[in-house]
């Protein structure tokens, strides 16, 4: 992998990740952009103890542009985009309309390919491996920013999810706090460790799932399963078999196998609802340990956390979506219409 860092016309950082070491990236952003002004602010809810990002400047962000005006395609002639060069393998740049900025963290966009009509599932194993390298590098870089406590790499795919740009891309949020979801997992891990005399919760969950009926696919270094208490109709958790706290901890064997397993999972997701159905909308989310000493979680440290990827769709059956209504949105109590065992069986049935 070759990494080339440059700056856009308004001062935002852009990084090219290339498969070839001899690739030259010297294109200049020719757009007449003024410096980006953001209004991002993090407010803490005194009742729930969580945080909300208030970012009113995002109201003006790009919304469903036509394909020939896509800001994530390479620049071509006088059609100038966020990527100054005429081609790229993988690109990461600071979001022009960030939810988090400055002392409130940072938001980046990850473009998986220059092909506007592709999806992550269309990538080759080599290309998917490069995306993994980019996620890992950004996690490392962002973790050293003084305002950042947790790094979250994710992909929203599909208009049903709320995606406003059709180009295959993901995002990275660098939070100035530990997110509520991660805090819950750390508290559960601490309680389990104390109750069992030192057993790791993530290891226990993975061991139980591998011995059960909800395994979707398994490699030498990775395992994918539908969890016992899945919140979503089709939800898969992908774990490295050797526990590590973050992407930086993956060894070469796990990094090599990841594209094979992950691409197969994504392709199965597109076949869940049958041939001829629209592409399956999904969210793919990396769960990584926060950086720091975790003083608020007595009894556990970073090494007690297990890196894993959560992949789920909000489509519950052909032509029908799972909406977060009263119980889910009001009380955070999910009701799942698809038994996890049936979901796992279906995901095994659609193997290529």
Q: Which residue among the candidates 169, 192, 221, 237 is catalytic per the annotation?
A: 169
Q: What is the chain's length? A: 352
Instruction: Say how far apart CA 29 and CA 80 lie, in whole Å.
Output: 8
Sign of CA dihedral 91, 96, 98, 100: positive
Distance CA 163, CA 312 (A): 15
Smallest Cα–Cα separation from 136: which of 251, 22, 12, 301?
251
Q: Are 83 and 14 in contact (CB under 8 A)?
A: yes
Distance of CA 282 to the CA centre of its chain: 11
Burial of 246 (0-12, 13-18, 19+ CB in 10 A): buried
Indicate if 169 belongs to the active site.
Answer: yes
Q: Which residues are CB-neighbours of 25 under 8 A, at least 6 positions away?
A: 4, 6, 16, 18, 85
State the Cα–Cα distance between residues 216 and 334, nearest whole angstrom: 22
CA distance 302 to 294: 7
Write the Ramachandran bin of 289: left for phi over 0, alpha for psi from -120 to 50, otherwise beta: beta
Alpha-helical segments (H) within 230-272? 252-269
CA 340 – CA 233 distance, rounded (Å): 8
**Which residues are designated catalytic?**
169
């Amino acid at each position: 992998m070759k990494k080339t860092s440059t700056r856009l016309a308004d001062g935002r950082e852009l990084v090219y990740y290339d498969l070839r070491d001899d690739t030259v990236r010297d294109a200049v952003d020719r757009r007449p952009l003024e410096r980006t002004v953001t209004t991002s602010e993090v407010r803490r809810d005194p009742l729930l103890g969580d945080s909300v990002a208030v970012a009113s400047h995002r109201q003006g962000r790009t919304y469903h542009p036509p394909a020939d005006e896509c800001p994530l395609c390479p620049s071509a002639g006088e059609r100038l985009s966020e990527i100054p060069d005429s081609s790229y393998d993988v690109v990461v740049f600071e979001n022009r309309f960030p939810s988090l900025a400055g002392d409130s963290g940072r938001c980046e966009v990850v473009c998986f390919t220059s092909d506007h009509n592709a999806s992550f599932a269309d990538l080759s194993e080599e290309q998917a491996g490069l995306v993994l390298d980019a996620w890992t590098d950004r996690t490392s870089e962002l973790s050293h920013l003084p305002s950042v406590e947790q790094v979250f790499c994710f992909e929203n795919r599909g208009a049903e999810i709320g995606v406003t740009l059709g180009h295959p891309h993901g995002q990275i949020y660098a939070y100035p706090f530990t997110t509520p979801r991660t805090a819950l997992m750390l508290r559960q891990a601490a309680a389990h460790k104390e109750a069992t005399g030192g057993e790791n919760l993530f290891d226990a969950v993975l061991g139980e799932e591998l011995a059960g009926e909800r395994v979707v696919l398994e490699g030498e270094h990775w395992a994918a399963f539908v969890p016992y208490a899945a919140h979503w109709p089709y939800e898969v958790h992908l774990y490295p078999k050797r526990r590590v706290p973050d992407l930086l901890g993956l060894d070469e064997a796990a990094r090599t196998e990841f594209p094979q397993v992950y691409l197969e999972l994504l392709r199965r997701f597109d076949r869940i609802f049958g041939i001829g159905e629209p592409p399956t909308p999904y969210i793919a989310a990396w769960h990584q340990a926060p950086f720091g000493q975790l003083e608020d979680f007595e009894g556990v440290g970073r090494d007690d956390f297990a890196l894993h990827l959560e992949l789920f769709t909000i489509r519950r059956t052909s032509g029908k979506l799972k909406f977060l209504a009263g119980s889910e949105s009001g009380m955070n109590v999910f009701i799942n219409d698809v038994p996890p065992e049936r979901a796992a069986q279906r995901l095994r049935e659609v193997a290529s």
